[in-house]
Amino acid sequence: MIEQTTPRRTRAKVFSALATQGRTASRKEEEKSGVSTGKQRRWLHFRIGVLTLGIIMLFGAVLNRMFDLQVEETDLDEMAQRQVEGSVTLGAGGENHLDGHRGFIFDRQGYELAISVEVPSVYAHPKQIEDKHEAARQLAAVLGGSPDTIYAKLEKERSFVWLDRKITPSQGDAIRELKLRGIGLKRASKRYYPAQDIAGQIIGFAGTDNVGLAGVEAAFDEELRGGVIELKGLRDARGKLLLTLESPRLNDLEGGSVVLSIDQRIQRITEAALERTATEFKAKNAIGIVMDPKTGEILSMATWPRFNPNRFNDFETTDWRNRAVLDVYEPGSVFKLLLYAAALDAGVVKPHEPIDQEHGKMRFSSEVTLSDTHVIKNLDAEGVVVQSSNIGAYKIAKRLGREAFYQKILDFGFNAKTDIGVPGESVGIVWPPKRWAEITFANIAFGQGISVSPIQLAMAVSVIANDGELMKPLLFKEVRDREGNVIKTWEPEVKRRVVSPEAARLTRIAMEKVVTEGTGMRAWVDGYRVGGKTGTPQKVDPRTKKYGNKWMANFVGFAPVDNPDIVVVILIDEPKVSHLGGMVAAPAFAEIVSQVLPYRGIQPEAVYAGNNITFPTRVEPADPLTDAEWELASEPPPGMLRVPDFMGLSLADTLTAARDAGLTIEPESTGFVVDQWPAKGAEVAVGTPVQVTLARQYRQSHLGYAQQ
């Protein structure tokens, strides 16, 4: 049976189905809506957390800064001061430059050898200059030089530039009158040397920036250089100092001072003698040292040609050299007196012990022969020094022995620095005995084949004058601070005993006889007993490495003999008129001694002449020839020559001078030349014999002295 559905029931089902669908859809929408709301809620919580964390961190930073301000940085006034205050350093260069004043350099008597004076320096602010070409033109007219050079400085991208440092006061006045915008003047300290070229090589010089560049100026730069000052004040927004808050202590810019052992008066005497000698004999250069043998103090140390540190740029750099300390030479025969003293000290010779001269020639091999310029058959050990025998010196050295001789050379101070305190001091060269061939041994005995400095030689001679003790050389006496307080001194110091007092005394006797009887008679000084030794070493040709035709003329000595007050060393490099030490260097020694001893209060002694003794009148050295006369003498007609001056020479020096001139000598006696014929300057043929009259004892003996 089929049930028929009524319309009412059908509608009920439809509504029921639609309701069911609606509830289902509503549940699905609710589920979807619930998922979306959860995500939004979580995102909101995240943002709130981040914001909270940021607030906490910011609050922590504020708390930390509050802690710093309240606890750590309590001095806020100081912080504010640093923002408005600045500082400037004086004495350190630049726009705010104010030179420190270098201290003085004095001689031993207090005379000023180096001082500082105030002079203007000109600067520019390039950015303030409108017409730089015109400014450069006007400045060049005052300062000298090229306008282009000044313009190049003005073109630099700087707020400040120096145009010229340490100009003359008159130039400064001229700059002021120009009234150029951006151009100004500042005072500066300039080094000035009142003695001009006196002791120039010792003092050295300071450069534009007041830095010592040579000599004492360089050696004591730290002590002499002025200090720096830091000034505090208020500054503007650009950092420039507007107003200082304190007064500067300008004394802090002053440097200390140095006092030398040099005596300006003795330095002048020495330099004058060197200049006269070097000019007369047309020498390359010359060196002279005067020192006190008992203290080691250097009283003068001179080099010719002279050097003026006020104009150091006008001189060759070689003229700056203190050759007495920096250069070395072969000493020549002056070395024989040191050998003699060493041999006496060792007891291997006695003063009057005969030394065989081998008739003037001693053969070492078929190619090598040692010879003396003049032959004197009978010489004792003392006579080897007096007459300057090379063969005799070698024989004495043989008795002493190589090792002992070498050790004495070292004991005298050679082959080592003297510690005089001059930068760059040379030590010379003396090879050890294992490197000596026999002829080398002989050469060293008479001062060749080795090199020594003049200061070393002076110290070695002082050993003889100082009873055998070697002193340390003293060029400086004291250093003072800017207030004048002595902060460092140098005192006499005995380095060691080299020979016995007796050996030194006997050597002094021999050295006196060099002047009264030997090769050094032109070193004689009226009223004083002097001793010395001549030297005429050949110079090695740097190209051939062999001895050539250039010479050194040397003389070393002291006075008075019985109690030496000064030691004098003279070296004349490459004299062209004559090369003999006795003729060239000895007169310079006499010139110095004759003035220095009276200046130091050493009065001349009385002269004794026995009733039954007569002596020839002292012959003064001849007047130096003029340049024209020397030119004539150097260029005689073919086959002819002009007779040199032999007056006052010993027989040995006369024979040498005659041989060099191309003449022969006919002596009538022995001793010293008191007359000659033909006279000096006479024109004669080469080989012409010259007759000379000699006197055996040329000088008068002094009161109370018996010649030994």
pLDDT-based confidence at residue 48 (cuts at 50, 70, 90): confident
Mean pLDDT in residue range 671-695: 74
Instruction: Give one DSSP letter per residue of 286-299, joined into a string.
Output: EEEEEE-TTT-BEE
Residue listed under structure tokens 């002499």? 224
pLDDT at 588: 96
Q: Is 365:377 a contact under the CB 8 Å cutoff?
A: no
pLDDT at 445: 94
Query: Is the pLDDT at 371 greater than 60, yes or no?
Result: yes
Between the CA of residue 500 and those of 195, 341, 469, 505, what are the distances in Å? 42, 9, 8, 9
* C-alpha torsion sign, points 382, 383, 387, 389: negative
Mean pLDDT in residue range 491-520: 95
pLDDT higher at 183 or 674: 183
Lowest mean pLDDT among 289-298, 353-362, 693-702: 693-702
Percent above pLDDT 90 for the chain? 42
Query: Is the pLDDT at 105 greater than 90, yes or no?
Result: yes
Nearest one of 398, 343, 346, 410 to 370, comparing CA atoms: 398
Nearest one of 340, 537, 362 to 450, comparing CA atoms: 537
Which run of H or of E encompasses 301?
A: strand 298-304
CA 644 to chain centre: 39
467/451 Cα distance (integer angstroms)? 25
Between the CA of residue 209 and those of 91, 165, 168, 356, what are the distances in Å? 10, 9, 16, 65
Residue listed under structure tokens 């080299």? 498
HEC string for 65-116: HHHHHHHHCCCHHHHHHHHHEEEEEECCCCCCCCCCECCCEECCCCCEEEEE
pLDDT at 575: 94
pLDDT at 125: 86
pLDDT higher at 109 or 82: 109
pLDDT at 620: 43
pLDDT at 618: 41
pLDDT at 21: 63
Q: Is 531:559 a contact under the CB 8 Å cutoff?
A: yes
pLDDT-based confidence at residue 393 (cuts at 50, 70, 90): very high
- Give tens-digit pLDDT for 318-359: 888 999 999 999 999 999 999 999 999 999 999 999 998 888
Total-model pTM: 0.71
CB atoms < 10 A from the CB of 531, how many? 28
Lowest mean pLDDT among 191-205, 230-244, 383-397: 230-244
pLDDT at 246: 56
Collect all residues with Cβ–Cβ distance below 8 Å to 298 and sequence separation of at least 6: 261, 262, 289, 290, 291, 420, 455, 473, 474, 475
> Taking each helix axis from N to C terminus, what angle separates 335-346 and 402-411, rounded to the nearest 10 degrees?
110
pLDDT-based confidence at residue 533 (cuts at 50, 70, 90): very high
* C-alpha torsion sign, points 347, 352, 358, 360: positive
Structure tokens at 403: 């090792």
pLDDT higher at 80 or 443: 443
pLDDT at 633: 36
Nearest one of 636, 656, 637 to 646, comparing CA atoms: 656
Mean pLDDT in residue range 504-530: 94
- Give tens-digit pLDDT for 265-274: 999 999 999 9
pLDDT at 2: 42
Peptide bond into 423 cis (omega under 30): no
599 — phi, psi (to 5°)?
-60, -35
Mean pLDDT in residue range 237-258: 64
pLDDT at 314: 87
71/87 Cα distance (integer angstroms)? 29
281/268 Cα distance (integer angstroms)? 20
pLDDT higher at 222 or 377: 222
pLDDT at 168: 80
Nearest one of 122, 309, 117, 121 to 206, comparing CA atoms: 309
Peptide bond into 293 cis (omega under 30): no
Instruction: Give one DSSP letter per residue of 465-509, joined into a string.
Output: HTTTEEEPPB-EEEEE-TTS-EEEE----EEEE-S-HHHHHHHHH
Structure tokens at 143: 């300062």
Structure tokens at 536: 């005429």
Query: Is the pLDDT at 242 greater than 50, yes or no?
Result: yes
pLDDT higher at 219 or 377: 219
pLDDT at 447: 92
Q: How many CA atoms lie within 13 A of 146 on its CB side?
A: 5
pLDDT-based confidence at residue 1 (cuts at 50, 70, 90): very low
106/190 Cα distance (integer angstroms)? 17
Query: Is the pLDDT at 19 greater than 70, yes or no?
Result: no
Q: Is 307:320 a contact under the CB 8 Å cutoff?
A: yes
- Give tens-digit pLDDT for 556-589: 999 999 999 999 999 999 999 888 899 999 999 9
Domains of the chain, first to last: 90-260 (3.90.1310.10), 264-605 (3.40.710.10), 613-708 (3.30.10.20)
CB atoms < 10 A from the CB of 458, how many? 26
Strand partners, 570: 288, 555
Which run of H or of E encompasses 640?
A: strand 640-642
Mean pLDDT in residue range 446-456: 94
* C-alpha torsion sign, points 429, 435, 440, 444: positive
Nearest one of 593, 592, 619 to 698, comparing CA atoms: 619
- Give tens-digit pLDDT for 414-446: 999 999 998 889 999 999 999 999 999 999 999
Q: Is 645:622 a contact under the CB 8 Å cutoff?
A: yes
Average pLDDT, the chain: 81
Mean pLDDT in residue range 453-470: 97
pLDDT higher at 676 or 470: 470
Between the CA of residue 430 and those of 9, 258, 496, 534, what are the distances in Å? 147, 34, 20, 21
528: DSSP letter: B
651/665 Cα distance (integer angstroms)? 9
pLDDT higher at 170 or 299: 299
- Give tens-digit pLDDT for 614-659: 433 444 444 444 443 333 334 556 677 778 887 777 766 777 777 7
Query: Is the pLDDT at 149 greater than 90, yes or no?
Result: no
